[in-house]
Structure 1
Amino acid sequence: MTITVAEVPAKERFEARDEAGELAGMLTYQVTGPIIVYTHTTIDPRFEGRDVGALLARAVMEDAESRNRTVVPMCPVLAEWLEKHPAYDRFVARSTRRIK
């Protein structure tokens, strides 16, 4: 089975679809200037165990890198994936501070 990931800007999300066009999963985001916050990942139960989350994670991180964005990984699925893929650390905001 082939899964393709594409951005759907009008819905502020990336979608993973199979070759029949079925929605396998999605990762939502919010953009403010050069900062992108990945907020939530949903995987359709029919596609669990098929690495859809990893495909989405890699796609969104490669997209953010190509656009020179700073990533804030609020989504636990993405945050966990990033722990295993330190190559992306250079543009991930790992902590936040209140500016006074």
Structure 2
Amino acid sequence: MTFTVTDVPDRERFEARDEAGTLAGVVTYQLSGVIVVYTHTEVVPEFEGQGVGALLARAVMDDARARSRTVVPMCPFLSGWLDKHPEYDKLVARTTRRVK
């Protein structure tokens, strides 16, 4: 199954949708200047286990990189995903690196 991720700024979230347009998951955010705080990731239960969360995580981080934003990962899912993807470390504002 193919999913498309789009930013929906008026709802302050990124949405993942399947080919039929069905909502599969979201990442919510708060934006202040060049700082973006990702607050929550949620995958619709019937789409769990299909990589939607990881797809959303990569999409929001690639978007932040393209817009030269600093990321504050308040969402536990995204924070854990970032621990496994050091290629995004330069974008992330953290007080300390989480111990693995």
TM-score band by shorter chain is over 0.9
Separation in 2, partners of 1:92, 1:19 = 32
Is 1:86 the counterpart of 2:83 in the alignment?
Answer: no
Identity of aligned residues (%): 69
Counterpart in the other structure of 2:37: 37
User: Normalised by the size of structure 1, how large is the TM-score?
Assistant: 0.94
Consecutive unaligned residues in structure 2, runs of 5 or more: none
Query: How far apart are 1:93 and its partner, in Å?
Result: 0.5
Q: Could you give the per-residue CA deviations for residues 35-74 of structure 1, whole angstroms, max 9, x where no partner exists?
A: 0000001100000000100000000000000000000000
State the superposition RMSD in angstroms. Answer: 0.9
Is 1:5 the counterpart of 2:5 in the alignment?
Answer: yes
Separation in 2, partners of 1:53, 1:5 = 11
Is 1:65 the counterpart of 2:65 in the alignment?
Answer: yes
Counterpart in the other structure of 2:17: 17
User: Normalised by the size of structure 2, how large is the TM-score?
Assistant: 0.94
Separation in 2, partners of 1:44, 1:95 = 31
| Number of positions where the alignment pairs a residue of Structure 1 with one of Structure 2 | 96
Counterpart in the other structure of 2:47: 47
Question: Tell me, what secondary structure is at the counterpart of 2:90?
Answer: helix
Q: What amino acid sits opposite 2:35 in the alignment?
A: I
Separation in 1, partners of 2:84, 2:91 = 15
Counterpart in the other structure of 1:74: 74
Q: What amino acid sits opposite 2:16 in the alignment?
A: A
